[in-house]
Chain A
Amino acid sequence: MADTKAPAARPLSPHLQIYRPMLTMMMSIVHRITGFGLYFGTLILAWWFLAAASGPNGYAKFEWFAGSIIGRLILFGYTWALIHHMLGGIRHLIWDTGHGFGPNEREWLAAANLIGSIAITVLLWIVGLLAMGGPR
């Protein structure tokens, strides 16, 4: 046994593609994707701090980006990813305590996560656009 070179080709456990998509499973995948997106989104945050520190010209460049259509789309997506990942994180913290694993609980937690993240994102953007004096 000791001179065995390669491990035996054992069967692997079935992976995602063989399962029928379910809400909790999709939410798990989305939690990872939003985390991945937020990671790179911190570049925008760092840019914002540095732009504010650099003076009016640097800040104007950031404002031009943030006000452009593509900038708005990215920031809207970033807002949703942030809220969704945060609510998903709260769901994970509930699970860490050993609660919320029941068949009904996990379904409504997943649904509340999704509905909550969309509702809060839209609400935040309404408040934000009003704070800026209406859509410009």
Chain B
Amino acid sequence: MSQAPVKHIRTPLALVRGRGAARSGTGHFWRQRLTAVANIPLTIAAIVIIVMLLGRNQAAAAQILGTPLVAIIMLLFIASITTHMRIGMQVIIEDYVHGEVAKLTLIMTNTFFCIAVALASAYGIFKLSFGV
């Protein structure tokens, strides 16, 4: 590493503090933990709901999925897992894809995919809840 000429009096540590490899500090680290904690009760609740719906026909499944409590749990579940998986996949991309163009393209695709899955699922749940 070549030493850049000093044009300011800030120490090198001050320049890098709070900035990780992604140039955005610990935001992702913290949100990954936050959603990980949220995922545990939400996943257990989602599994219970799914087991309850097994073997039921569409009318029964639609009715149960549209009840407020079940719909809200499923919306929270979707929001939490898609946030969590977006960060997780970005870490994988950053670990293995080193070309700048490929990396940025994949990180953008990752964001699009996660938002699309989240909104498609939410659309289904809202439609079941409001019958639109």
Instruction: Using CB atoms and an 8 Å cutoff, list the residues of chain A in contact with chain B.
Output: 1-4, 7, 32, 35-36, 38-39, 42-43, 45-46, 49-53, 55-56, 58-60, 82, 86, 89-90, 92-93, 96, 124, 127-128, 131-133
Contacts and interface: CB of A to CB of B under 8 A. Distances in A.
Contacts of A51: 58, 124
B40 A46 contact: no
A6 to B, nearest CB: 11
Interface string B41-69: 00100010001101101110110010000
Contacts, number: 96
Q: Is the interface of A mostly helix, strand, loop or mixed?
A: helix
Given A49-B125, A50-B124, A124-B47, A133 B36 contact: no
Size range of the chain B interface in the assembly: 35 or more
Interface of B: 1-5, 33, 36-37, 39-40, 43, 47, 51-52, 54-55, 57-59, 61-62, 65, 74, 78, 81-82, 85, 88-89, 92, 117, 120-121, 123-125, 127-128
